């Protein structure tokens, strides 16, 4: 299946060209934020391997890199951490509406969309078109930094618990866990979640990042950009897989049941969540990293996941020979988060806490280009040849 887009933005009379459905392998923009090399099994943030950054750095350092294009000095890192700490404090005026949103119920990611819109209004964000580069960065960074606090507050309010007081003595990842769980995790578990957050900040022109850039290209405000990207992330084919992969693990139960489970899923036309990726032919490096983290954490769930992973890979190889279906990031994401005490309803919101950083950086870059993203479509319906009835 093919579709058509116009490759010369704004060029009147430009002829459309056929491209693959889903815009697969179509270059839609230029970016300096990051890149995914699917054949090699590598992805990077600016000039550094992303998984090595997750192994060696804290979240503040990597966020600074993406924001400024270079790694910070010690004092720069500390100043940036202080900037994030100030931005993540929950404005008093948001507490009452957040309580109403939480009481209304629904998925936490849906609640977060509404909360981000309100936060944008509270912070007075203006259209990116009307701002200079520093102002754009400031608005987007402020909302990105506030997002984990909003997630934590909504989660706690939905459980009938009050939001916790902000703490400046915690790093950004640890503060998110404090906001959501009301407690500090043991060092190994807190670091595991931080590494997950670092590893998922950016990953090419995925659906949510591209959606955010489309909205940023219109000159809309920071809240509109992030809410739109968040809406794309809410789709089960994009951000909802960690909990579904964990559900599959529980359903399979033991490695010896994996082959029959795969057969049943394939016969029903179902997807094998946690395996295969739109970009990677080589193993997903994020999965390798999270597998290492899971090994470090240990425990019954991790041991069972390792056995089931091997059995699933063998079953998929036998039933889909020649088709690359490596373990992807979602398989071990759910395992690591559950092992660290995060409930399933926080899995995709935790992904959003990470990815919002990437969306913000991409939005700054897209807004600077000054071009609106405006593809076209091939019309395949009936032509207007009949007269309109009187």
pLDDT digits (tens, 9 = 90+) for 54-96: 999 999 999 999 999 999 999 999 999 999 999 999 999 999 9
261 compared with 118, residue with greater pLDDT: 118
52 labelled catalytic: no
Residue 169: helix, strand or coil by DSSP? coil
Question: How many whole angstroms separate alpha carbon 233 and alpha carbon 351?
Answer: 9
Whether pLDDT at 5 is above 50: no
The CATH homologous superfamily of the domain defined by 42-235+347-369: Citrate Synthase, domain 1 (1.10.580.10)
Please list, residue by residue across 10-36, b when 16 or more beta carbons sit within 10 angstroms of its beta carbon and e when fewer do. Answer: eeeeeeeeebeeeeeeeebbebebbbb
44 labelled catalytic: no
Domain boundaries, the chain: 2-30, 42-235+347-369, 241-339
User: Which of the residues 330, 362, 365, 386 is marked catalytic?
Assistant: 330
DSSP per-residue letters across 40-105: TTEEEETTEEHHHHHHH--HHHHHHHHHHSSPPPHHHHHHHHHHHHHHTSPPHHHHHHHHHHHHH-
User: Which of the residues 277, 309, 365, 386 is marked catalytic?
Assistant: 277
Quickly tell me which residue has 């004092």 as its tokens: 75
Helices (H) and strands (E) in the chain — how many of each? 16, 5
CATH code of the domain made up of 241-339: 1.10.230.10
362 and 67 Cβ atoms separated by less than 8 Å: no
Question: How confident is the model over 113-121, as a mean pLDDT?
Answer: 97
Whether pLDDT at 349 is above 80: yes
Whether pLDDT at 9 is above 50: no
**Contact residues for 245 (Cβ-Cβ < 8 A; gap 6+):** 273, 274, 330, 331, 333, 334
Q: What is the mean pLDDT of the chain?
A: 91
Q: What percent of the chain has pLDDT over 90?
A: 66
Give pLDDT tens digits for 295-344: 999 999 999 989 988 888 888 888 888 887 788 888 889 999 999 999 99
Phi then psi for residue 64, to 5 deg, are -60, -45
């Amino acid at each position: 299946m093919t579709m058509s887009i116009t490759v010369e933005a704004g060029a009147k009379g430009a002829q459309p060209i056929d491209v693959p459905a889903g815009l697969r392998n179509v270059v839609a923009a230029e970016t300096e934020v990051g890149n995914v090399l699917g054949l090699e099994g590598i992805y990077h943030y600016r000039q550094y391997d992303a998984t090595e950054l997750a192994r060696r750095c804290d979240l503040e350092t990597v966020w600074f890199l993406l924001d400024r294009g270079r790694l910070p000095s010690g004092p720069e890192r500390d100043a940036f951490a202080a900037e994030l700490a100030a931005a993540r404090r929950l404005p008093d005026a948001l507490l009452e509406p957040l309580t109403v949103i939480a009481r209304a119920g629904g998925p936490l990611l849906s609640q977060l969309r509404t909360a981000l819109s309100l936060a944008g209004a509270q912070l007075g964000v203006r259209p990116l078109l009307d701002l200079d580069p520093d102002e754009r960065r400031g608005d987007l960074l402020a909302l990105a930094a506030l997002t984990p606090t909003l997630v934590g507050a909504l989660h706690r309010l939905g459980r009938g618990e009050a939001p916790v007081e902000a703490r400046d003595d915690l790093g950004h990842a640890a503060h998110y866990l404090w906001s959501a769980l009301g407690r500090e995790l043991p060092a190994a578990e807190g670091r595991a979640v931080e590494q997950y957050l670092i590893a998922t900040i950016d990953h090419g022109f995925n659906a949510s990042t591209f959606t955010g850039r489309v909205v940023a290209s219109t000159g809309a405000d920071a809240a509109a950009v992030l809410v739109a990207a968040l809406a794309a992330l809410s789709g089960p084919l994009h951000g909802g897989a960690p909990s579904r992969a964990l559900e599959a693990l529980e359903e399979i139960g033991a490695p010896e049941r994996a082959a029959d489970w795969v057969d049943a899923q394939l016969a029903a036309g179902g997807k094998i969540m946690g395996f295969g990726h739109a970009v990677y032919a080589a193993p997903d490096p994020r999965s390798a990293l999270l597998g290492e983290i899971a090994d470090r954490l240990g425990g019954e769930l991790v041991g069972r996941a390792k056995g089931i992973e091997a059995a699933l890979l063998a079953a998929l190889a036998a039933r889909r020979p020649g088709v690359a279906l490596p373990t992807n990031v979602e398989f071990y994401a759910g395992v690591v988060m559950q092992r660290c005490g995060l409930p399933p309803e926080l899995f995709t919101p935790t992904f959003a806490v990470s990815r919002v950083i990437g969306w913000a950086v991409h939005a700054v870059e897209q807004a600077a280009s000054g071009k609106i993203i405006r593809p076209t479509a091939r019309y395949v319906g009936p032509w207007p040849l009949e007269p309109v009835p009187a």
